[in-house]
Structure 1
Amino acid sequence: MTDVTDTTETTVEDDSGDLPPFGPTETARLTEEVIESVEAVIVGHRDAIEDVIVTVLARGHLLIEDVPGVGKTTLAKAIARSFDASFKRVQFTPDLLPSDVTGVNVFNQRTEEFDFRPGPVFATFVLGDEINRAPPKTQSALLEAMEERQVTTDGVTRSLPDPFCVIATQNDVEPGQTYELPVAELDRFTKKIRLGYPGTDEEVHMLERLVDDHAGHPVESLEPVASVEDLLRARRTVAKVEAAEPVRAYVARLATYTRRNAALGVSPRGSLALLRTAQARAVLDGRDYVLPDDVQREAQSVLAHRIRTESGETTGRQIVAEALDRVDVE
């Protein structure tokens, strides 16, 4: 049976193209408020929370690969609630169909016409839970949505909300019961991260807050600290951050290094993702210009999952580390 959780009504595309951007300082303050909001629910993962914020500001999508039970789903819910945004969750299973994600046309006997019933992809934040449990055919239902922010069913194309962000989780401990994500899908994820286990003190704090079932989960009582309009304005701030020619050239040289030293290197989409996340990272630090340090900080989580090597002894992370070490900053 398909498990689809819908926490809001279907949203429509936001018509807010005239919203002015924030200033870098104002955006940095806004993102800090969101991070603090999420930290009220997610203990001990500030770096991961910043990764999510950077991805969202960079107009991208996030893949979280980790063991079960470390808070991946809760993190996605907390981000959506902090922005007062629509949120829908899809539990990916082997029997899930593409139409269960995108929507389906249903015949209306009263009007004798087909009515479109939107799938859970029509939300600002869409959580694809354990996405690699579904076969590639179902996973491919997200390809158009993630790249073009639209869905085509029976020849009709419908726009998705703006902003739109997919946060997918991937189970990495049961390889015999999961499918490998297609390269084309992996390349559409701006960043791939891991949460990891909390520290001992952090876990004690988490147990203290959650031991009472009657108190409810903290994420359910989380109050918004920003709006979707704030997010759109912050995104426009990021898009205007200066990335000078030497920084752009540095990003291109890093990508070229991976192509020359791996069976499959970083695509131009990956280069663009790295530059956009570097812009977002600059804004988090209150700057309106990108430094090479921003590029280096984002490189591993943006590039490594896009690389395929011929030898199992060399990983994408190793290739990226070599590139950062050997490619000069000019």
Structure 2
Amino acid sequence: MSPIRLAIVGLGKIARDQHLPAIAATPGFELVAIASRNATQEGVPHFHSLEDLLAGGPPVDAISLCTPPQGRRALAEMALRAGKHVLLEKPPGATVSEIGPLVAAAAAAGRTLFATWHSRFAPAVEPARALLAGRTLRAVRVEWKEDVRVWHPGQDWIFEPGGLGVFDPAINALSILTHILPRPFFLSAATLAFPENRQAPIAAELDFADTAGVPVRAELDFLQTGPQTWDIHVETDEGRLSLSLGGARLTQDGTVLVDEKEAEYPALYRRFAGLIERGESDVDLTPLLHVADAFMLGRRTVAAPFFG
């Protein structure tokens, strides 16, 4: 079977850190082009824009869109119109409403649209989901706290409208929660802290409850220095289950059940290849809907100015 000829659009930090190594490690893909305004990759043909790539580049079967979410819809529409399969980095877009027409366009073109949630592919996530399916839940607590200066150095777009601010990393926690918890949950209250010189929050506190009334509390921070915290704790009738390191480790009452090296993006690309082979799409907007709810229901507070 011929490899899937893939192009990356947007060669920023996430593309270099995760997509390039994952593509190289995943059989069935061949990186044939890159479109980026500001970056190139040695040995790979480079184009200034997706439009230039489609007009004059090598044959391409699939596009990985790794640009900031603002403006991604137009790029996805362009790629689908050109008959390409499309992978969307998370979040899939800057708004919820723009994704539905892309799903319809992919179906009309007979192409795959994959809205990725890479944290769902962390090694401890599926084991946690299986364990929670048979337990009675008491409470859920999320601590998702990291340093924006480390993970998004100089990336001012993240604090612009549509950039999501602290929800850019925190949507990873929501993508895990919506996958592992056995029942839907809904936001009841939120507080969002906006730096006085920015348009997106830098911290947030969220309170949810599931359909059985189980409380779900999330504390989010984009200014944590030192050790970073990506933890989900679930109190159950059989003890506490904890997902840590973003889903790489699973413990029960301190006993390690899963502790594996991060392998999210290779698994993500294997999923993409399988979807293309089967002629399917995978677009789950639930995590993005929870973020939209936070902006709709959240009480806004003013925080100190942020200078990256």
TM band (smaller chain) = under 0.3
Query: How high is the TM-score relative to the length of structure 1?
Result: 0.26
Which has more strand, going by share of residues? 2
Which has more helix, going by share of residues? 1
Higher relative contact order by CA 8 Å / sep ≥ 6: 1 or 2? Answer: 1
